[in-house]
A and B are shown apart, each in its own frame.
Chain A
């Protein structure tokens, strides 16, 4: 592998507070130096990145790679390629595959496939319960031993308070978070969008905000009670944000993520029965969208995650009630964040990169999220000013289910580097 120099870019490294024009030198897969006028090692590829931003590679805490079992919608190879195209050098893959990732062989399979694909890194998330049935704990020790970095039954909530409590206590031994999809099942049952005036107009069954908030409250209380780290997936309501804010003020071991669609769209996006606006948790009201943005600004919400959920075209091409929930997100996350949060004046660029790289690494104890010397060279180079239009036909992902088709966004990924090797070049 040839050494590499990224010359003259704006280097933003939230792990050290660096934000200045500098060169980054990479050798043997690691960062060896960051600063002005760095010398280039022999035989290095020197890239002029003047005017571009150089940052630690983005890390997605919540992705569905669909392999094993649902390869018609995505594979580990296509999913990690999509990640790289979106500027992500690592993704955490959720275990709700078929069969689910609830044992060490399954974890090993994911790790192996990711290595073979050779694009973004994959840190598997194992199941909380066997089969994700919500009854019996999976073997966390084995899962972690094979490479899992967290456990989750995402796709479903951990409905039983008793099981969640046990999971949080048991996970403490391995210092992994239990990531919960917060949804009270009886309140949410049958719902297909946010319960509000739009669902009333459309005649669709709604999922009330309280369905999420009840479980957020429960999880916060259990984290306090057990001392275990709970990570709250895809937060969507202002009530949830408020609960988390108070939990953090109390110093409880709670972290949270939010997805770009929850700070970009509201339930009005469902108005034409567009199944690409159907996901769980659903798009909510403008006040909820505002609360998510504020939560990201003040750190109540730690990370931006995508909840990238590929679905086949045929599956989404049906009546709203019947269509599966979920949208892809790896290839639009950075653009949406830059356009709506940074250009929108809610976050500075360094704050955004923290939310998408440094902080995710920290809260899940992952390598990455830093450009400090000696660390693996996982780097993203992007042009924050370049404007581009979302064209689904150019997606690296196998699936096209996004409500953002045709949106004009700011921020194009120019180069994604994993372990010193370029895994994506933007055109």
Chain B
């Protein structure tokens, strides 16, 4: 077994709220307004984040934004390594994506493989005019040429570290924490 885990706080609840504020406003700018915008959260915590962002946008601009959710398990490229996940979450998208501006929302951007899977999955549902990516945390460590359009906070983390995003809706509190582990 490895040595002791070192857990340190990166963002507290107010910091997360501020980041979400910024992200919400940047998304509206990217989409040139709320009319053609569709927010698609990636299971799991991306969905909760998309909900909060949608609420901020509604408060600020008075317009309700369409939400969707995506579970990318069936599109992963590494099923042989990780084995089947016990429960596949819900995938629910608006009927038509054609001509719309889809912004994918996720909690942490790391290797980029999740986003690649999400892009493939969205392509099976339709042809948006544009697909953008907004993430709460970018921790570096890309394995594919994928970048986020909008980033809440950049956090450099080592390959064996864990970046945990905790949300009230799922985990009972809001926090972003870094768990440092020495290499095995």
Chains A and B in contact, CB within 8 Å = no
Show the binding face of B for A, using Cβ within 8 Å. none
